[in-house]
Chains A and B, each alone.
Chain A
Amino acid sequence: MSADSNNVKILVFACRWCGLFGADAAGRQRIELPVSFRVIPVECAGYVEPDLVIRAFASGVTGVAVLGCHVGGCRFNDANHPALKRLELLKTLLDTTGIGGNRLLLGFGTTHEWHQYVETILGFYRELEGLPSMGAWVPVKQ
């Protein structure tokens, strides 16, 4: 289940009011998960710009998960609603470019509980296992 053997690399953008709650609860339940995901905590899923997701794919990440609150339950009024729309559009764009919209997981309101979080991460991991890797990581000189 190591990251290198099958090249699954998941980058998780987790809203601190939903996704991170699930992550915290899953940790307390001591659920065993594959190590191949990294978490970037954000205040709101609204922060995750499509640009960042594409950059993540460009740097070799095989899958990006954006975990936010359910639509209508955002801590920041309705900030996650436009975010969901934006990212759904991005999925279409990813399909068009051949990267595949299934590499972008949108979990809005589906990861608040530990079992939901575990299911989401494991399900996404299994799905990505069957997909080709995004190529080797080539450092970009600045």
Chain B
Amino acid sequence: MPKVTVFLCDCFGEIGKVIDLESIRKRFNADPAVDGVTITESLCLASDVERALSAIHDRGIGKVLIGACSPYGRMEFVRLGLVKKGAELRHVRTVDLREGCAWIHRKDPEGAFRKAASQLDMELALLQNMQDSKDITVRLQQETLVIGAGPAGLSAACGLARLGFRVHLVERGSAPGGLLNIISQAYPGGESGSEKIGLRLEEVSRNHHISFYGKTRVVSVKGQAGDFKVTLAGPEGKTGLRVGAIVLATGARILFPQGLHGYGKLKNVITQMEMERQFSTGKPACRTAVFIQCVGARNIDRPYCSTICCPLSLKNAMRIIDEIPGAKAYVLHRDIMTPGSILEAYYRKALEKGVQFIRFDAARPPGVLGEGQVGEVQVFDAISGVTRTIETDLVVLSTPLIADPESAALARMLEIPVDKYGFFAEVYPNHPVETLNDGIFICGTARWPVSSDQAIAQGEAAAMKAASFLGKKMVSALAMSRMPDQKVGHASVNSDACTGCGNCMAVCPYGACRLQRMGNRSVSRVIKIRCKACGNCVSVCPNGAMQMPELNDRAVCQMIRRAFREVR
């Protein structure tokens, strides 16, 4: 067993003036497991780190125990510095002697000494009893799969193809374009939907790295990050693929407001998308158009804002005023949501053009009245406190984007969670396009209602994330952590002791534990690439078959035993 080299940092007296480091040195020098204790003035100094390094090299790189400041201070840099020079991350342990001991026990130097000695002793026990996880390295497949060919999917596919990755672009419809196909004019630029994605569509047809599969669905996905085995079903039968990363850009649906504000009963009550269709074939015949915002959105079922409806209404209201002489447009809203400088200027422009904005209260929604045909809209103006009656011949309902009904099945297949409303969930707010399952990235309206501009930006972002992952070519399981340089091991199963109860499988937050047939029984198996070493499986294992080698039961029991051992 390699011996442990101990370094104690004096931190220019910050630690030394409370804790008697010399006594600790004597005590640990006498320990047979320790191979020399060095007290340094400060491990922040490059010279002291160099000295420590040469001491480690002289003794052969073994295990290192450092008593210094907290891991959130300078300690992590020193630790990683040692790792860079050849020490193994799991074999460098640190004890927080400054924040965790000297600074909080200044008035009790004797107690602080005992605590420091115990904590060092505990880490020493851990280093002695530590076992090493067997790491594996896998080759990353250099092909990618993009599901959905809307604005987000197209930009992700183009981004990946430009970097030289082979892209399989799958679309369940016959043509790419997604929701932009319906839009006759995109805000705020005024170009048509097909113009907006035209460049990317051209790139898809020209770039030989991209294969487009129309009318195709994903039927099964197996495997993990770096090597997904995917089966597609299309007009030409089934296709098998092996891809390293998957970008999900399946988009969203528009809520169909059946029964709301007379939709379906009254002629001339239409949705925003029906208006877009009317605009793409000609122009709607109306003298007065009333837009009602937040229909079926920002309520108890769908408390979110759908982002795109306010700008869409502004655009269509302005088009009606511009294109139909003498026509009037009213926007009945709860709040106008136009974030950012461009959209706010767009709102100002609509005000200047004479679009009338009336704010209503969520508790008193506008009433659409008429017999077979819309006659008038009654709305309680929340600002002036009077009920207004608007004679109209067209009512346009702004309905929100909702999650695609197929998302849930796809999420189950890909083992990623969906949020309360059925959209794909990101793993963590500061990893916005990554999902719980490494190697699967989400973008566009599949993860949240966004405008086409944002969807394109997210598609690019997902492509870059996928590329930076696949660009490594080879990856070791220990590097598969969201916190680089932190993962020291992964869970491992003793298959002789495993009874196949499946507790670990139920509790693993990453789907890393699987039951596998072995002879006539089931045993658990850990997919190392997925394991993030949280240790949940270890604590539910009824017979200790599951262990984290770096923090195994024996080591932790030793730590507990030494925690309050009498210190001489």
User: Which residues of A are in contact with B by a Cβ distance under 8 Å?
Assistant: 1-3, 9, 11, 16, 20-21, 23-24, 26-28, 30-33, 35-36, 38-44, 46-52, 55-56, 59-61, 74-79, 82-83, 86, 137, 139-140
Task: Let me know if A46 and B108 touch, CB within 8 A.
Answer: no
Q: How far is the CB of B67 from chain A (nearest CB, A)?
A: 13
Q: Does B421 contact A (CB under 8 A)?
A: no
Residues in B neighbouring A49, C-beta threshold 8 A: 538-540
Once A33-B104, A38-B115, A38-B119 are accepted as A-B contacts, the answer to whether A79 and B536 lie under 8 Å apart by CB is: yes
**A2, A48, A82: which contacts B110 (Cβ < 8 A)?**
A2
The answer to whether B115 touches A78, judged by C-beta atoms less than 8 angstroms apart, is: no
Contact (A76, B563) CB under 8 Å given A26-B104, A50-B539: no
Interface stretch of the complex, out of B33-41, B92-100, B171-179 = B92-100
Whether A3 contacts B538 by the Cβ 8 Å rule is no
B residues neighboring A (CB under 8 Å): 70-73, 96, 98-100, 103-108, 110-112, 114-115, 118-119, 122, 427, 436, 482-483, 486, 507, 509-510, 532-536, 538-540, 548, 551, 553, 556-557, 559-561, 563-566
Given that A27-B99, A47-B535, A76-B532 are contacting pairs, would A3 and B107 also be in contact in the complex, using a CB cutoff of 8 Å?
no
Of listed A39, A59, A77, residue having the most chain B CB within 10 A: A77
A52 touches B70 (CB 8 A): no
Q: How far is the CB of A12 from chain B (nearest CB, A)?
A: 10
User: Which residues of chain B have C-beta atoms less than 8 A from A28's C-beta?
Assistant: 99, 103
Chain B residues lying within 8 Å of A60, measured Cβ to Cβ, are: 564
Contact between A27 and B100, CB atoms less than 8 A apart: yes
- Once A24-B70, A47-B534 are accepted as A-B contacts, the answer to whether A52 and B556 lie under 8 Å apart by CB is yes
Residues of B within 8 A of A47 (CB): 534-536, 538-539, 548, 551
Say which residue of B98, B118, B509, B563 sits within 8 Å of A77 (CB atoms).
B509
Q: In the bound complex, what is the Cα–Cα distance between A21 and B72 (angstroms)?
A: 8
**Cβ of B538: which chain A residues have Cβ within 8 Å of it?**
47, 49
CB distance from B242 to the nearest CB of A (A): 27
Complex alpha-carbon distance, A16 and B486, angstroms: 11
Give the 8 A-B CB pairs with smallest separation, nearest first: A27-B99, A47-B535, A35-B111, A49-B539, A77-B509, A76-B534, A46-B536, A44-B534
Most chain B CB neighbours (cut-off 10 Å) among A3, A43, A49, A50: A43
Per a CB cutoff under 8 Å, which of A16, A52, A139 touches B557? A52
Partner of A61, one of B106, B122, B563: B563
Docked pose: A75 CA to B553 CA in angstroms: 23
Known: A3-B114, A52-B560. A137 touches B565 (CB 8 A): yes
Contact A79 B110 (CB under 8 A): no
Q: Which of B104, B107, B535 contacts A43 (CB 8 A)?
A: B535
Residues of A within 8 Å of B114, CB to CB, are 3, 35
- What residues of chain A lie closer than 8 Å to B70, measured between beta carbons? 20, 23-24, 27
Residues of chain A with a CB closer than 8 A to B119's CB: 38-39
A32–B104 touching, CB < 8 Å: yes
Residues of A within 8 A of B427 (CB): 77
A-B contact pairs, 29 of them (CB 8 A): A3-B564, A20-B70, A20-B71, A24-B73, A26-B99, A27-B100, A27-B103, A30-B104, A32-B104, A33-B104, A38-B115, A38-B564, A43-B486, A43-B533, A43-B535, A44-B534, A44-B535, A47-B536, A48-B539, A52-B557, A52-B560, A59-B560, A60-B564, A75-B483, A76-B509, A76-B510, A78-B509, A79-B535, A82-B507
Chain B residue with Cβ nearest A58: B560
Please determine whether B509 and A11 come into contact, CB atoms closer than 8 angstroms. Answer: no
Does B565 lie within 8 Å of A24, measured CB to CB?
no
Give A36 to B107 CA distance when docked, in angstroms.
Answer: 13
Q: CB-CB < 8 A to A55: which residues of B?
A: 557, 560
Q: A36 vs B548: C-alpha distance in the bound complex, in angstroms?
A: 28
| Interfacial chain B residues near A75, Cβ < 8 Å | 482-483, 534
Give the distance in Å from the alpha carbon of A46 to the alpha carbon of B504 in the complex.
12
Report the Cα distance A76→B531, complex, angstroms.
Answer: 10
Give every chain B residue within 8 A of A74 (Cβ-Cβ).
Answer: 509
Min CB distance, B534 to chain A, in Å? 4
A46 touches B534 (CB 8 A): yes
Residue of A nearest to B489 (CB): A43
Closest to A48 in B: B539
Q: Which residues of B contact A40 (CB under 8 A)?
A: 122, 556, 559-560, 563
Q: Which residues of A sit under 8 angstroms from B534, Cβ to Cβ? A: 43-44, 46-47, 75-76, 79
Residues of A contacting B553 in the complex (Cβ-Cβ under 8 angstroms): 51-52
Q: How far is the CA of A39 from the CA of B95 in the complex (A)?
A: 10
Per the bound structure, the CA–CA distance linking A45 and B103 in Å amounts to 26
A83 to B111, CA, bound (A): 32
Residues on the A chain within 8 Å of B561, using CB: 59, 139-140
Compute how far the CA of A32 lies from the CA of B18 in the bound complex, rounded to whole angstroms.
Answer: 13
| Further contacts, 8 of them, CB under 8 A, given A28-B99, A39-B96, A46-B535 | A9-B563, A16-B71, A23-B96, A23-B99, A44-B535, A46-B534, A49-B540, A55-B557
Give complex CA distance A61, B562 in Å: 11
Enumerate chain B residues within 8 angstroms of A27, measured Cβ to Cβ.
Answer: 70, 96, 98-100, 103-104
Give the chain B neighbours of A78 by CB distance below 8 A: 509
Q: Of B104, B108, B548, which one neighbours A2 at CB under 8 angstroms? A: B108
Per the bound structure, the CA–CA distance linking A2 and B105 in Å amounts to 10
Rounded to whole Å, the gap between the CB of A134 and the closest CB of chain B is 10
Bound CA span A11–B122, Å: 12
Instruction: Tell whether, in the assembled complex, residue B99 and residue A32 are in contact, meaning their CB atoms are under 8 Å apart.
Output: no
Q: Which residues of A contact B115 (CB under 8 A)?
A: 35, 38
Known contacts A27-B70, A46-B539, A76-B509; decide if A38 and B122 are in contact (CB<8 Å). Answer: yes
Question: In the bound complex, how far is the Cα of B48 from the Cα of A2, in angstroms?
Answer: 34
Query: Which residue of B103, B122, B533 has the most chain A CB atoms within 10 A of its CB atom?
Result: B103
Q: Is the CB of A79 within 8 A of B563?
A: no
- Among A27, A31, A39, A79, chain B packs the most CB atoms within 10 A around the CB of A27
**How far does the alpha carbon of A137 sit from the alpha carbon of B564 in the complex, in Å?**
9
- Distance in angstroms between the alpha carbons of A16 and B565 in the assembled complex: 24
B111: which of A3, A39, A137 is its contact (CB, 8 Å)? A3
Q: A38–B509 contact, CB under 8 A?
A: no
Q: Shortest Cβ distance from A127 into chain B, in angstroms?
A: 18
